[in-house]
Amino acid sequence: MSTFRRRFFENKTAVVCLIVLLLLALAAVFAPVLSPYDPTQMFQDHRMEGSSGEFMLGTDQFGRDIMSRIIYGARVSLMVGLSSVLVSAAFGTLFGLIAGYFGRWIDGLIMRVMDVLFAFPEILLALAIVAALGPGAFNTILAIGIVNIPIFTRTVRGAVLSIKNQEYVESARAIGASTPRILFLEIFPNVTAPLLVQASLAISGAILTESALSFLGLGIQPPDPSWGGMISEARRYMELAPGMIIWPCVAMTITILSCNMFGDAVRDILDPRHRGK
């Protein structure tokens, strides 16, 4: 792990992205303190204004402060992104460990189910699940979480297959360790590297899907601010107040870009095959 830490801090991209992501996380956590106004408070006399000292990024069609809405939007995006990846990683790891370790028909069954989940474009499957469960933050997390389970299952299964016949697993079995013990204490710690890479890449995808669902009106529901929802609402006032569209786009791009670059950097650091490319 210390070589990981050293390589990590040598990688400028990784460090810069981590700082950006930490700042975003701080903004999300301390949204009530940092945002100048309540994100749903309407200033009737200040509708669709441009940037000013009073409203840093201007106001929207109801006179709500765009800056405050973007800060609260970060909260939604990061929360949905992180929780849904947590859901996928938890189930994906469990299925991947079981499929990889036991092999035979259990493996066949689990992987066929994953093939079925893989047969849908992710946004469409997420849409179908949200359509059935109804919109809202919790269902959005659930939908995106389910859609991403197969990627994690495949990653973990692949890693398990490559290590399950190594001596330390053999010896754990020989001294009579129970199967759960072997799975979680011997094998699991050794699949965390690919898992971490997959998770950091999946977060950006999850944030993207959340914003797309909210854009379609099926994710986070107004008046709660979400970046996708803000862009969707702003389309009608596009020419009158371009800032209403541009700022959420900028916020979203910065977030997803740093997630992607962070994921790539972590992969380069952890995966010897990618090093030096």
Partner 1 sequence: MGSYLVKRIISLIPILFGISILVFTILHLVPGDPASIMLGTEATPEAVAVLRAEMGLDKPLVSQYLHWVGGLLQGDFGVSVHTGQEILPEILKRFMITLQLTLMAVLIGWTLAIPFGILSAIRSHSKTDKVIRILTLLGISVPNFAVGTLLLLGLSLYFNWFPPIDVTSFWDDPAEAFKVFILPAVTMGIAVAAGVMRMTRSAFLETMDKDFIRTARAKGNSMWTVVMGHGLRNSSIPIVTIAGMQIGYLLGGSVIVEQLFSIPGLGQYVLDGIYQRDYPVVQGGVLFVALVFVLVNLIIDLIYTWIDPRIKY
Residue 135: asked if its preceding bond is cis (omega within 30°), the reply is no
Q: How far is the CB of 164 from partner 1 (least distance, A)?
A: 26
C-beta of 172 vs 212, nearer to partner 1 = 212
CA distance 214 to 256: 16
Q: How far is the CB of 84 from partner 1 (least distance, A)?
A: 16
C-beta of 142 vs 182, nearer to partner 1 = 142
Q: How far is the CB of 231 from partner 1 (least distance, A)?
A: 6
C-beta of 101 vs 215, nearer to partner 1 = 215
The DSSP 8-state label assigned to residue 221 in this structure reads: P
CA distance 77 to 228: 9
Q: How far is the CB of 36 from partner 1 (least distance, A)?
A: 24
CA distance 68 to 85: 26
Paired with 59 in beta bridges are 65
C-beta of 166 vs 253, nearer to partner 1 = 253
Q: 205: helix, coil or strand?
A: helix
Binding site for partner 1 (CB under 8 A): 112-113, 115-117, 119-125, 127-129, 131-134, 204, 208, 211-212, 215-218, 228, 231-232, 235, 238-239, 242, 245-246, 248-249, 252-253, 256-257, 260-261, 277
Spell out where the chain has E strands.
Answer: none
